[in-house]
Structures are given as structure tokens and as C-alpha cells.
Structure 1
Amino acid sequence: MNISNLGSNSSRSGISESQKNVKTFILPEKCFERYAACTWRRGNKFSIYPRSQKTSSSPSNIDNKILDVRQEVLLFIPILRKLVNESNGTYLSLQKAAEAAKTSDNHVEFLKLSRQYRSIIRVCIEGLQEAASKETNGIEKNSLLSYITIFYSIECIWHLCEILYIDNIPGDIVLPYLLEWVRFHFPCHEQTAAQLLEACERGSEDHPEYWDTVVGMVVQGRVDVARALLKLHSLTDSNEFKLLDNSLRSMPVYSVYGGISTGEFTVSWKHWQAECRSKLGSRVLASQPKLELIMKLIIGDYSAFESIREKYTSWFDLLGGWVMFTAPWSRRHALGAAAAACAGMRPAAGRTPLDAMARALMDGDLHQVIHEIQQISDNGWFATHLTDILYHCGKLEIMDKHQTNVTSRLRDSLILEYGCLLMEHPSLWPVGLSYLASCPPEGLRRAELVLERIPVQTEAKAMRVVAEAKKYGLLGVVQSVCTCMGARHLSSGRVGSALAWAVRARNSALCARAADSALRAYCASGVLPAVDFLLTAGSAMLLCDTLLFLGKYCDFHRMYKNREFKKAAKLLVSLLTSKIAPDYFWETLLLDTLPLLESDEPVFSSDDTFEIMLCLELKPLSLTQEKADLLRLALTRNLARTSLSDVDSGGE
């Protein structure tokens, strides 16, 4: 769901939104001469191929070329996969916190998770900066620098959003947090100020950036630093400097915990500014234009701020100082006007996306904020995670043109789109699956459809798919993947693996085919496949008669090997009389009785012997005449031995 379609009125121009966003692809030369066609493929890929035309003008020879076109996915770059994986952990923690918040206030946890997101972004930026510093290829280096710009903007806007909508600011007085935001993201002359203060030399005004640094500290609200720098001036003991220093020192600073009300502070503040205006009007500072400029700044003179605007890369640098020296008691709802005033000082160049997002945030227009962040080329990472946390904090309310609340639909659509995108990657698909599973019921339906289409080339990949499907209760996917793997192994002659996958799939038909192949393989080679699996399969043997027979026959071999001849003989007779043995296996079963019939002590009773004789007569074609005669002789001898032992036991 695109945010541009929510809450918007009919198009004001003749060009629709979709027409504005049309992309044009230039195909390679001589790729297709004529009659090209296009079809969508899996995920964000489509293919262009030559289409045959049965006309006299169609080319006689058409090259069988297929051109795949796919969207470049920024998140699939190896250096950014850490961002995807780590943010996924925070996202899942947020869902748990949101569930707990239904019964109790969980604001502190939401703020903690928001800061985790920002910390992940900062680590990502540091990784990109390190990679860019080592990169020698110009094109690759430029790409990395553009990624740094993208994620710097993301972290900057996230921090501002955290201040305005996620954190509970005491008294709703936003100035201290706004100053912190400006200092952190738009450091102005900070390094120069540190160097000058460290040197601590009188006459520091000779430094070419001295005055710009002093003014920068004032604009950033760092009054103490500005005073310390002014004391390094060679004329610091003059009346003009003392006058300004006294004004800066006496500036009232509002604190929620200061014990005075907002009204009392406002009176004190206006009294202080009146004194500053009086000093400025007396022309005492006329001989020191720089000090006069600073005095104009601290009384909130718009022209003074406008005069220094060109020294800064953006209006954000001035925002904290403007609020501080015009209305330090401002609350969040008043920031829109302050942002408009500072943005109005901007030179003629066009607005950047960062400008638009910050203005929308300060105006409280989250609808526009989400629309703007959807335009960032980060493949939806930012829009998905910011929308999700705002939704759970209860600060997001998006209305469509019919004034219907579509907040949850918007949040779900972004998460589903992001999850489906990650499902396209060969190693990030489990991460994408966790996003889809967090938006039931549609997310699970999408997960089932996408998961079934993941290419499974290896046994390990199949096991991973099955494990993830079981985690989210997608039993249909489990059965489908296991059945496909079982059929693949069976067609390749790997009977043991086919049996294991067939049992995992709980597919009785495939189990029967695999068990039948195992029995035929034993008849041909005399080696029983997958013995370890068959001995531990347990109740899975009940899936079909053929598998049950195979499992019992495997038990017979185990007993015989362990010299448990009487148990083995009893099991063998039950297999002969069970009527589930395949016809081609009768010869094997009957011949298996021979070693037991020839044992030193009789292991078949007279009743067992008669059962075997009956089976032999019922299946006369199962053995050759020579083998049948040999078996009959062994049966007769065993019958004689059992009869004599019965007589002896009766005589006793």
C-alpha cells in the first residue's frame, strides 16, 4: 500500500500518480530486433524475451535471448546485511513489548528499542565509512558515500521522531532535546572550539575561524563554551566584552524541575531580553560588530540569524538557537512555526528530502512523513520500522479520503512488502519470514505461498525451510517440501533418504513407494537400506502397510544378528502370515526360515512349522523347485524334531 494513495483527494492535474512514476528502461543494442514480450517472474524480477510472429514480415531467425530485469535491492549488499539481521531482532522484541503493553504501560521499553534501532543505524554508517575509506574504485566509493548519506538522513530523522513522538518529555518542553539533536547531527565548529580551549591562549582571535566558532556555539545554545572562547580574546577585559559576558551569564534557563512555573520563567526571560535590547540600543557595542551580532542573536533578531545563514549548510544549524532565543518554553506543537522561520532563511536552492521530512515531523503531519520516507531508496527498511514503532506507541493515526482510520492497514502493508522483499534473498529469507508471520492472517498466507517457491538445492536448505515452516505452523509447506525432497531422492536411487523425507512428510503414498524401493533394493543386493532410521522410526511405521512390513523385517534382522533366534522366528512367522508382504518378497521370507530351521535347537514350534508349510503351498511359484524341495526337507526335519521334543516333554 503506497501512502500517496491514502487520504489524498482526486488528482489536481491530468497526470495520475502512477503515470508520474513511470520508469523507462533502455534495452541493450541489438538485444531484440522486433517483437519483444515481457512477463513477470518470481519476486521483483521480470523477463523480456523475443516473441514469434507468424507473419511474412517477421524475422526468419529469432535469437533465443531472455533479458532479466530486476530492481536493485540496497539491503542485499553484503555490508548492509548486518543492519537487516540486527534490526530484525529489535523488531521482534518490539512486538513482544507491544503485546505486554496491552496490560501495562511499556513506554520505557519502547524508548529503549527506539534507541537500539538508532544504534544499529550508527554502526551501519560506521561500517560504510570504514569501507569507503578503504575503497580504491571510484564508482564503488561513490556508491558507498551515497549509502552513507541515505543512512545518515535516516538516523537523523529517526532521532527527531524519537524526541517528538516516542519519548515522554517532562513538561513537554522540547528545547533541551532539540539542542541535543542539532549538536549531534549538525556539529558546527566543534573541533575548532575544542582546539582553541585546549590551547587556552590569549589572542585566539587571530585564528581564522575564531569568530565563526564563537557565533556557532551561541547558535547551538552552548553559551558556556561561547563565554570561555570570548575570554581567550585579547580584549576580554574591556567593557564591551564584560557587558556581553554578563548578559550571557545572566540568561535565564528554564528547567521543569527548577521550582518555577512557565509563566514565572516567561516574565524573567522577557525582562532579561529587555535588558539586552536596552544595552544594544545604547550603542555600547557599536565598536565591536561581532559582539553586537551576538547580542542581536540572543535577543532573537531575525535579521541577525538571516545574516549568518549562508555560513551553514542547512537551516537545521540555526533551529536550536532560534527556539532558544525566541521561545525557550516552546512545546512540541510550536516547532512547526520555528522550523518555517528557519527554513525561510534558506538560500534559493531547492529543498532536500531531509528538509521535507523534518518539516513534516515538526508540523505533526505523520501522513506526510511516511510518504516522504517511502521515497528513500533504502527498499522500505526505514518506513517499515519507523511506522511500526509509532503504531505501537499509539502516536500514528492515518486517515484516508473517507476519514477512515487505515493506520493498521498501512503498518501491515509496509511490513508485508518488506518481508516479501527479504524472502527473495537466498540467505535473508528466514528474516523476511519472521516479518510476514508477525502480520496474521495475511502474512502467514503470503509466507506459505512464498516459502513453497523458495529454490531448495541442498539437503541443509530443505531442513532449514522445514524447520522455519514448523516454527510458524505452516504444516502444508512442511509436507510439500518433504514430499518433493523424498521424490527427488527416490528418483535418484537414494532410498534411505527418500524414506526419511517421506516419513517427515507423513505422505503414505510416498512412504509406500520408498519402502517398496527399499525392499526391491534388498532383494537385488542383500543389503537393507536405512537400517538406523527404520529401527528408530517408531509410530511413523503405521503410515502404510509396506513401511510397517519393512520396519518389522528390519527388526527381524536385528534379532537374528543379536542371536535372539526364537524371537526372530516368531516375528518371521507373523510376517509370513500377515498377508502384507509383497509377492516378490515371498521368496526372501521363505528362504529366511532355512537358517533357523537348521539351528542346533528347534526355534520353530510344530504349529509354526505347519504355518510355514501352508505358506509354501499357497505360494508354490515363489521358489524354484530345487529351493522348494530343500525348504520342505528342512521343514520335515524340524517337524520331526519338534514332535520328538513334544513327546519327551509329555513323557516326563
Structure 2
Amino acid sequence: MELASARQVEPVNQALGTVIFSGVYHKGACPLPCKLLPKKYFEDGASCAWSRGNQFSVYPSSRVVAERSAASSCEQSVLNIKQNVLIFSPILRKLVNESNGTFLALQKVAEPIHNSDNLVELLKLSRQYRSVIRVCIENLQDAIENEKEGLKRNELTTCLTIFYSIECVWHLCEILFIDSIPGEIVLPHLLEWVRFNFPCHEQVAAQILEACEKGSESHSEYWPTVIGMIVQGRVDVVRALLRLHSKGDLNEFRLVDNTLKTMPVYTIYGGLSTGDFMINWKHWQTECRARLSGTTFSSEPHLELIMRLIVGDYSAFELIRDRYESWFDLLGGWVMFKAPWARRHELAEHAHACAGMKSRMPDHNRLHTIVLALCEGDLHQVIHEIQQVADNGWFATHLTDILYHSGKLNILDRHQTNVANRLRESLILEYGCMLMEHKSLWSVGLSYLGHCPTEGIRRAEILVERLALHSEKRVLRIIAEAKKYGLRDMACVSSRHASAGRAGAALAWAVRARSAALASRAADTLLRRYVATRQLSATDLLLSLGSAMLISDRLLLLGKYCEFHRLYKKKEFKSAGKLLISLITSKIAPDYFWETLLLDTLPLLESDEVILSSVDTFEIMLCVEQCSKHLDSEKADLLRLALTRNLARTSLAIERTEQNQTS
């Protein structure tokens, strides 16, 4: 086994854009008999065939193989190429399984969506999703610490970055669209989001406060931490840090401390209306600007910066923008000092203000676009962007599902009908089908497809039929899972056995599935095999069918014919003959089996004892004449002779009986 060269993989990459694939040569493999992709994508006479799932195979065309074989002996090779599925890695399997449990719980409580108790349950389930993501992040962090190999470590770091972003977006989405915020006042939740997802200075602040030493400004991160705590709205922490400054007793420090102490804090249950609070807030900010306009802080530029930040000075926020990786690090502080009474629908204005701050670092990445779209309430753009996240659809599927059940996606149905439902179902279908490709996650994938009312069941039936049947235990598990969703479980298993040439097993599963078509097909296979080999298979099964053989005429014929053989071997010739005559007169036998049935009467016709009556003999004669085209002429003549002799014997037997009765 050898890796594909860059030249061989390059044309495939051109055909598939930016999708990441991994390819491996399998020597001696055969090309798959599927429809070829256009040859313009390939060089050097290569061909391509789609395989199962997101896989396809690239192989030399027959012309190239013939040319190379003529020149020198060469071994044909196939390059199997498949998408690199991130969530199939062992470390993310727990994420898949645990989120599946939350997904199924969500489907149970989803209706009716406007029930207040259900909305509370939706919030709990959203937090369960976030806790699953958090556990995944912790596992990735542990794996990175234990991983020494550079390439593997880089892959884990990339995964960690992806799920950090997922947690950040989910948390903000939960605040803005799932949680029920009293009065729609978003600031407390926004500050919580910033502190949780961007704790860049929290650890340093804790270390300084724990040391509790005067002159803490000697710490290299003292002032950046003070400013960071201001931006995150941690006013009490800022006051505590300022008191640890060696000049903390000076007038300038006391003035800043008193200003922060007297800052009005708006709460929905505080007893003040929004209007009254705005008056108090503006009065407090007027006092702050008055103190700032003088020369009080001219000797302390850091204190002056703090005062400029708390009065909502845009240039002050721009001044510290480059200290942070993103504009939304500043969003909580900007809303807190600019409009602490802001409601959810007003957040977009403040988000645009922060996003417009000058910075040396570019803000145009996907996470920034998603957060801005969330602040604007543009869920269509949010879903479009999260579909591009390289986590193979886990995030888009589950977030869209919970937003749909919370009723927040109804906005998508303004101009077209049922858009939200179709969007949700398409994402679940894609995610479920991807899981069905995995050897052990197929049951999880089936649970997702089972909750897609339009296409899910039909798609699941097709994919279940393709599952590998390694053992009886696996077959029974497939059946148990399929029964939950009303799939044609045993029917598909029977088809698989029939296609593999295991007619007996196919018949068993067809009977369990109560499928007349599959039972007829399997019984027909066994009958043809008997005609060719004179050996009857699956006799134990056939003799124990009972009333189950009535589901199909062909199965009834096979079961009764097996019973005939059993009676004949036990030398119960009368019963065997009666059963054979019933099979002949019922006319349920296919054309190819008439000869077998008629020839089976020969031993009974030639028996020393009269077994078949004259009525039975006449029935056989009628069938011989009707089916003469299916009989060899010599065999037909032999049958006619045996029938004539048996008819004569029955006549003699009748005469003797009558003589005995008269005497």
C-alpha cells in the first residue's frame, strides 16, 4: 500500500474545489462499475467511479492499462478517495453520542413550541448542548497536552479552535434567541458571554488580588488587566486592583474609585423605569465628563483612559482595540458604558459601532461575520455561515433544529412556504446520512433520519439495506433499530442474503418480515436448486413454518413438497400420495417444476400396494396431457404406461372388493 502522488491527486482536487480528501492506493483492486465523471478533470487517461457515501475511486482507464501491459508487466491500481470526516475521530465520538441524546430529548418536548414550560425545557436542552461542547473542548485540551507528534497536535489544535468558536456562537445565540430575558435587557447576559468566552485577563487579576500586595503596578500586566476588567464590566474587580496601586490613596485614585462606586446599575426589578434610569445615568456621565475635562488626571494617563472608557468615548475604545483579537471583546463594555438599557433589537447598532473600530488586525473571518449576523438578528445569514464550519454539519444541524423548535426560524417563511421546515430537514438528512456511513455510528444516524417526516424514512430504508451483515447479532440489532421507525427491516436483510446466494437465510428473514414477494423469491430459488441438484435445502425451517407458509403460493408449494418428502421417507405412502395429488391438482407449481411433481408419482404408481386411486390416476393423466410440452417424450410415455397399469390395478381392486361384498 502506497500513498498517492501529488500529480495523481491534483486533478481530483480541481474537480472538488476546497473539500479535504485523503487518498490511498490499493493495488490489485478492480474498478467500480459506476458512471464515470467527465474526463476533463483527469490526466493521463484516468477514470473515476463513485463508491459508497462521500467516496470515489480513481483508476487507469482500460486503454492506458492495455498500453502499459503491452509495453511491460504492470499491476493495476485504484486510488480510493474519501472525505476526511472530522467527527469520526475517536476523540469526538463522545460528542456525537451525547448530543444525539439531547437531540432526541428535544424532539419529545418540541410541541407545542409556544408553551412556556416547553420554552424552559428548550433553554435547558440548549445548555446541555453547550455542556457537551465544553466536555469536548476539555478532552481536546487534554489530548493536545499528551500529544507529542507535530502533525497530530496541529490537527487537534485546529479541532479545538473550531469548537471554541462553536461554543462562542451557540452561547450568544442562546442569549439572543432561546433564553427569555426579562424586559429584553441584554446587557447582563452579554457581559456574561464576554467573560465566559474571552477570559483573557481574569487569571492575572485573580493572581494580583490573591497576592494582595501594595505596589502591584509593578506587575507587567497590571494596567492591561485593569483596562480589561473595565471592558468586561468588572467594576468591583477594577476598584480592588486600583486600591493595590502604590498611589492608591492619592486623590486621583480615590476620585476614580468613587466614580465607579456611584455608577448607576440598571436592573429590570430595580424599581426604576427606563426613563428614570436614563436621567440618572446621563447625570452621572455628565459629572464624569466634568472631572475628565480638567487637569486632574493629566499626571495619570491610565486613570484618564479609564474615565474616557466609562463615559463611552469612541476614540478611547479605538485606542485599546488592538489589544484584543476581535471587536466583540469590547462589545459588552461598549454597551455597558454607552447604553446599559439597550434591548435585544438595539444590539445591532452597537455591534456595528464596535466592528467599525480601527484595528491593525483584520476582522473579516467567519466567526466575526456570524457574531455580527447574530447581533443583527439575521438568522438566514447565521445558518449560511455555520454551514461552512468544518465540523461536518454537527453544529449547523443541532443549532438549526433547536432554533426551529423555538419558533425563531419562522422569519424565513415570509416570502416562501415551509422554508424553515425544509431547511431543518435537509440539514438533519445530510448529517444522518453521513453517520450511516460509519461502521458503529449507523444507529445514531438512523435516529436522525427517523425524525425527518418527508424523506427520512425512505432514505433510511436505502441506507439500512447497505449495512454490512457481519453476524447474527448485528442483524438482530439492525432489525431492532429499524423497527423503531417502521422500516422494512427483515425484508432488506432477506434481500441481502438472497443476493449473496444464501437462499435458506433469505427465506428465514423473508418469513420473519412477512414479505410475500421476498418469500416467493427465496422459495423459487430453493425449488430451482432442487430441480438442478435433487437436494432440498433448509428442510428444518420448512417443516417448522406452520401457517407462515400461507403468505406465498410458492412458499406453500415448497413447504408442502418438503412435507411430502418427509412422509415418503417415513414410508407413509398413502399420506404422501394424497399430499402429492393435492399439489398437482392445485396448479400452483411453476412450469419448470411440473416434471418433478409428475415424476414423483412414478414410485407410488409402481408400488406393490395400490396407493393412488382411479380418481387420482385420472387427475394425473389430465395433468400429463396438459403439461406434455414441459415433459420429455420418453418420460411422458413412461408416465402414461405407469398410469395405465395403475388404473388397471385399481379396477381389479375394485372388482375384488365388490365380489367380497356380494359373497
- Bin of the TM-score, shorter chain as denominator length: 0.7 to 0.9
Matched, 1:452 2:468: no
Equivalent in the alignment of 2:8: none
User: Is the 2:328–2:354 contact (alpha carbons within 8 Å) kept by the matching residues of 1?
Assistant: yes
User: Is the 1:188–1:317 contact (alpha carbons within 8 Å) kept by the matching residues of 2?
Assistant: no
Equivalent in the alignment of 2:512: 504
> Relative to structure 1, is the Cα distance of residues 285 and 468 closer, same or farther in structure 2, using a 3 angstrom cutoff?
same
Can you list the C-alpha shifts for 1:353-374, whole angstroms capped at 9, x where unaligned? 2111111111122222112111
Matched, 1:259 2:267: no
Partner Cα separation in structure 1 for residue 239 and residue 136 of structure 2: 37
Matched, 1:271 2:289: no
Equivalent in the alignment of 1:225: 237
Can you list the C-alpha shifts for 1:142-189, whole angstroms capped at 9, x where unaligned? 000000000110110010011011111110000000000000000031
Specify every segment of 5 or more residues in structure 1 that has no aligned partner in the other structure, as ranges: 1-17, 561-567, 591-608, 623-652
* Deviation larger for 214-223 or 415-424: 415-424
> Relative to structure 1, is the Cα distance of residues 583 and 345 closer, same or farther in structure 2, using a 3 angstrom cutoff?
same
Can you list the C-alpha shifts for 1:498-542, whole angstroms capped at 9, x where unaligned? 55224224333245358769999x9989x99647x9558664566
User: Is the 2:432–2:449 contact (alpha carbons within 8 Å) kept by the matching residues of 1?
Assistant: yes
Counterpart of 2:423 in structure 1: which amino acid?
A: L
Can you list the C-alpha shifts for 1:99-126, whole angstroms capped at 9, x where unaligned? 3437776211111111111111111111
Of 157, 163, 185 in structure 2, the residue corresponding to residue 173 of structure 1 is: 185
Helix, strand or coil: the match of 1:427?
coil
Counterpart of 2:269 in structure 1: which amino acid?
A: Y
> Relative to structure 1, is the Cα distance of residues 230 and 488 closer, same or farther in structure 2, using a 3 angstrom cutoff?
same
Partner Cα separation in structure 1 for residue 550 and residue 486 of structure 2: 24
Matches within 5 A, 1:454-493: 454-475=467-488, 478-486=490-498, 488=500, 490=502
Matches within 5 A, 1:74-113: 74-101=86-113, 106-113=118-125
Counterpart of 1:549 in structure 2: which amino acid?
A: K
Helix, strand or coil: the match of 2:58?
strand
Helix, strand or coil: the match of 2:272?
coil
Equivalent in the alignment of 1:420: 433
How far has the Cα of 1:555 moved from its partner?
Answer: 11
Helix, strand or coil: the match of 1:251?
coil
User: Is the 2:490–2:510 contact (alpha carbons within 8 Å) kept by the matching residues of 1?
Assistant: no
How far has the Cα of 1:439 moved from its partner?
Answer: 1.8
RMSD: 4.5
Can you list the C-alpha shifts for 1:278-314, whole angstroms capped at 9, x where unaligned? 1222322323222222111111112222222222222
Equivalent in the alignment of 1:348: 360
Equivalent in the alignment of 1:545: 556
Of 295, 320, 332 in structure 1, the residue corresponding to residue 332 of structure 2 is: 320
Helix, strand or coil: the match of 2:81?
strand
Counterpart of 2:52 in structure 1: which amino acid?
A: R
> Relative to structure 1, is the Cα distance of residues 248 and 428 closer, same or farther in structure 2, using a 3 angstrom cutoff?
same
Matches within 5 A, 1:512-527: 512=523
Can you list the C-alpha shifts for 1:247-295, whole angstroms capped at 9, x where unaligned? 1111111110111111111101111111111122232232322222211
Equivalent in the alignment of 1:434: 447
* Deviation larger for 162-171 or 48-57: 48-57
How far has the Cα of 1:320 moved from its partner?
Answer: 0.8
Number of matched pairs: 583
How far has the Cα of 1:127 moved from its partner?
Answer: 1.2
Partner Cα separation in structure 1 for residue 522 and residue 444 of structure 2: 33
Partner Cα separation in structure 1 for residue 214 and residue 116 of structure 2: 58
* Deviation larger for 240-249 or 571-580: 571-580
How far has the Cα of 1:341 moved from its partner?
Answer: 2.0
Partner Cα separation in structure 2 for residue 345 and residue 204 of structure 1: 31
Partner Cα separation in structure 2 for residue 199 and residue 482 of structure 1: 73
Matched, 1:50 2:63: no
Counterpart of 1:194 in structure 2: which amino acid?
A: A
Equivalent in the alignment of 1:39: 49
> Relative to structure 1, is the Cα distance of residues 435 and 267 closer, same or farther in structure 2, using a 3 angstrom cutoff?
same
Partner Cα separation in structure 1 for residue 429 and residue 368 of structure 2: 28
User: Is the 1:280–1:295 contact (alpha carbons within 8 Å) kept by the matching residues of 2?
Assistant: yes
Equivalent in the alignment of 1:375: 388
Helix, strand or coil: the match of 1:233?
coil
User: Is the 1:160–1:181 contact (alpha carbons within 8 Å) kept by the matching residues of 2?
Assistant: yes
Matches within 5 A, 1:329-348: 329-348=341-360
Counterpart of 2:118 in structure 1: which amino acid?
A: N
Matched, 1:363 2:376: yes
TM-score (norm 1): 0.77
> Relative to structure 1, is the Cα distance of residues 551 and 243 closer, same or farther in structure 2, using a 3 angstrom cutoff?
farther
Partner Cα separation in structure 1 for residue 331 and residue 227 of structure 2: 14
Of 136, 141, 147 in structure 2, the residue corresponding to residue 135 of structure 1 is: 147
Counterpart of 1:300 in structure 2: which amino acid?
A: G
Counterpart of 1:166 in structure 2: which amino acid?
A: I
Counterpart of 1:281 in structure 2: which amino acid?
A: S
How far has the Cα of 1:72 moved from its partner?
Answer: 1.2
Counterpart of 1:503 in structure 2: which amino acid?
A: V
Partner Cα separation in structure 1 for residue 278 and residue 107 of structure 2: 43
Equivalent in the alignment of 2:202: 190
Can you list the C-alpha shifts for 1:298-352, whole angstroms capped at 9, x where unaligned? 1111222222222222222211111101110011122222222222335233222
How far has the Cα of 1:233 moved from its partner?
Answer: 2.1
Counterpart of 2:56 in structure 1: which amino acid?
A: F
Can you list the C-alpha shifts for 1:576-611, whole angstroms capped at 9, x where unaligned? 775589859979x99xxxxxxxxxxxxxxxxxx987
Counterpart of 2:421 in structure 1: which amino acid?
A: S
Equivalent in the alignment of 1:394: 407
Can you list the C-alpha shifts for 1:537-561, whole angstroms capped at 9, x where unaligned? 664566432454378689999xx9x
Specify every segment of 5 or more residues in structure 2 that has no aligned partner in the other structure, as ranges: 1-13, 28-41, 590-595, 621-637, 640-663
Counterpart of 1:374 in structure 2: which amino acid?
A: Q
Partner Cα separation in structure 1 for residue 451 and residue 617 of structure 2: 65
How far has the Cα of 1:391 moved from its partner?
Answer: 1.6
Helix, strand or coil: the match of 1:99?
coil
Helix, strand or coil: the match of 1:449?
helix
Counterpart of 1:461 in structure 2: which amino acid?
A: R
Helix, strand or coil: the match of 2:276?
helix
Equivalent in the alignment of 2:212: 200
> Relative to structure 1, is the Cα distance of residues 441 and 405 closer, same or farther in structure 2, using a 3 angstrom cutoff?
closer
User: Is the 1:470–1:478 contact (alpha carbons within 8 Å) kept by the matching residues of 2?
Assistant: no
User: Is the 1:576–1:615 contact (alpha carbons within 8 Å) kept by the matching residues of 2?
Assistant: no
Counterpart of 2:49 in structure 1: which amino acid?
A: T
Equivalent in the alignment of 1:145: 157
Can you list the C-alpha shifts for 1:392-449, whole angstroms capped at 9, x where unaligned? 2121246599766632222222222222222222222222222222222222222223
TM-score (norm 2): 0.75
User: Is the 2:523–2:558 contact (alpha carbons within 8 Å) kept by the matching residues of 1?
Assistant: yes
> Relative to structure 1, is the Cα distance of residues 500 and 373 closer, same or farther in structure 2, using a 3 angstrom cutoff?
same
Partner Cα separation in structure 2 for residue 367 and residue 58 of structure 1: 54
User: Is the 1:309–1:346 contact (alpha carbons within 8 Å) kept by the matching residues of 2?
Assistant: yes
User: Is the 2:22–2:84 contact (alpha carbons within 8 Å) kept by the matching residues of 1?
Assistant: no
Partner Cα separation in structure 2 for residue 20 and residue 555 of structure 1: 63
Can you list the C-alpha shifts for 1:76-117, whole angstroms capped at 9, x where unaligned? 112112212221222222222223437776211111111111
Partner Cα separation in structure 2 for residue 547 and residue 58 of structure 1: 54
> Relative to structure 1, is the Cα distance of residues 246 and 569 closer, same or farther in structure 2, using a 3 angstrom cutoff?
farther
Partner Cα separation in structure 2 for residue 502 and residue 56 of structure 1: 45
> Relative to structure 1, is the Cα distance of residues 148 and 338 closer, same or farther in structure 2, using a 3 angstrom cutoff?
same
